[in-house]
Amino acid sequence: MTSPHPAPIKTPRLRWSTATAAFQIEGSRTADGRGRSIWDDFVDRPGAVIDASTADPACDSYRRVADDIELVAGLGVDRYRFSIPWVRIQPGGTGPANTAALDHYSRLVDGLLERGVTPFPTLYHWELPSELEAAGGWLERDTAERFADYAALVADRLGDRVRSWYTLNEPAMTTLQGYGIGELAPGRQLLFGALPTVHHQLLAHGRAAAVLRAAGATQVGLTNNHTRVLPASGSEADLMAAFLYDTIHNRMFSEPLLAGAYPDVEALGLPAMPVNDGDLQLIAASLDFYGINFYNPTTVAASPDGSPLPFDLVPTPDAPLTGFGWPVVPDALRDLLLDLAHRHPDMPPIVIGENGASFPEPSTAGRVQDDDRIAYLSAHIGAVEQAIAQGVRVEEYTVWSLMDNFEWADGYTQRFGLVHVDFDSGIRTPKASYGWYRDLIRDSRVETASGGAR
């Protein structure tokens, strides 16, 4: 890894943020009338989670929300990205709002505002109500309409204080890993039969954006998981495989939002998208910012004979790896941002909605000296600054995550946090990276106020 010390910041001041997701930190899976989600179903499936753990109590954050507000405030971030689980607000995905749950998130919003932190909620971080999945889930257009109803209930309660919203988190992962190959909830293995979920998620975003704006929102967007796709070689087969993977992972999700049309997937032998009149116009007009979650590039080769997929994801040569085995190539983030801005010169401002890394750390610890994480974050912030210096409009950078948490199908085996969590006791201990990020934010503001290199 590179040096843990950041280079001087020379670009216009970014907003700084950190993030969590409800299912990963909250626990209290049945508190306040919470319903059941596809992740409850997935976790309860034998063998689905690598360490056979569950997300209860996780970080116990539903009960310890005041502690976590203090951790957020201590960083000095501008905004805090958290998620509101649909099944707490509408336990079955339809019907009236659960007042007790809305009270909880109202207190969270007030607590953040009292500490000078802007709340930046995500309405959907993968927790589809089980009853809606039983009716077809994101394969059905009706789920988009139900999502708009849910958004209206939340906006009616919180919209007087919350002006910035993420609608969806990483629709690509829902499609590819959730419905395509079954690695994540709902655990379906439809391969290219999962593609209708792309359109229904983007339609849900468009419907919710209209609802949120009507309730007074001034900044609405979603965040896509993007990867810089690298061909394994210059062979025609590898180049075609990389192009196809880039289309499915990246462009299927970005092009409707940023260009008003899907890539020509039928020319690639894929099924047409289930688009109705007016859908693409709604989707293309839905963004005030474009969120990008970035962790690593993906190297792609042509698949071997007999493979069910026309591409193969292979190791990225000469790249160090995170605890997840993900390659660390910060320049890939810079190049991804430059490519997007080149192809979409009129795109809205970019928000980095997640960036971070897991590394092996003890389950019980005092202060963790996580120099690898500091090096990763420093290098990726540097990559963002390089993109800004070349004209890309990036307005915000978000570290994933505030604290160690339940890492989906990997349970408690991966730690991304700026704060160490002892999952037996619930004790939170800021790591070295927490102090480093706090100081970076402080120093960036001092430099701006003094009229430095900015």
**Which CATH number goes with the domain that contains 19?**
3.20.20.80
Q: Which two tokens stand for residue 252?
A: 């299927």
Task: Determine which one of 127, 133, 170, 385 is catalytic.
Answer: 170
Pick from 164, 272, 250: which is nearest to 213 by CA?
A: 164
pLDDT in tens, 372-397: 999 999 999 999 999 999 999 999 99
**Residue 454 within a domain:** no
Output the pLDDT for position 446: 78
Output the pLDDT for position 445: 85
Output the pLDDT for position 336: 98
Domain that residue 92 falls in: 15-449
Distance CA 250, CA 238 (A): 17
pLDDT in tens, 26-63: 999 999 999 999 999 999 999 999 999 999 999 999 99
Q: Name the pTM for this structure.
A: 0.95
Interhelix angle 99-114/142-158, rounded to 10 degrees, is 50
Task: Determine which one of 26, 354, 385, 396 is catalytic.
Answer: 354
**Residue 219 within a domain:** yes
Q: What's the number of domains the chain is made of? A: 1
Output the pLDDT for position 449: 59
**Residue 3 within a domain:** no
Output the pLDDT for position 13: 78
Output the pLDDT for position 451: 56
**Residue 7 within a domain:** no
Whether the upstream peptide bond of residue 91 has omega within 30° of 0, thus cis, is no
**Residue 116 within a domain:** yes
The reply to whether 385 belongs to the active site is: no
Output the pLDDT for position 8: 43
Interhelix angle 330-343/371-389, rounded to 10 degrees, is 30
Q: Which two tokens stand for residue 155?
A: 């906006």
Residue 301: strand pairing partners: 312
What are the angstrom distances between the C-alpha of 115 and each of 79, 110, 164? 11, 9, 17
Distance CA 77, CA 70 (A): 11
Q: With 0-12 CB in 10 A as exposed, 13-18 as middle and 19+ as buried, what is 440?
A: buried
Q: Which two tokens stand for residue 200?
A: 């229904």
Mark the ranges of the chain whose per-residue pLDDT is less than 70: 1-12, 448-454
Whether the upstream peptide bond of residue 401 has omega within 30° of 0, thus cis, is yes
**Residue 6 within a domain:** no
Instruction: Assign residue 329 a region (left: φ > 0; alpha: ψ between -120 and 50; beta: otherwise).
Output: beta
Q: Which two tokens stand for residue 198?
A: 């792309």
Distance CA 291, CA 83 (A): 15
Q: Which two tokens stand for residue 294?
A: 């970035």
The reply to whether 170 belongs to the active site is: yes
**Residue 5 within a domain:** no
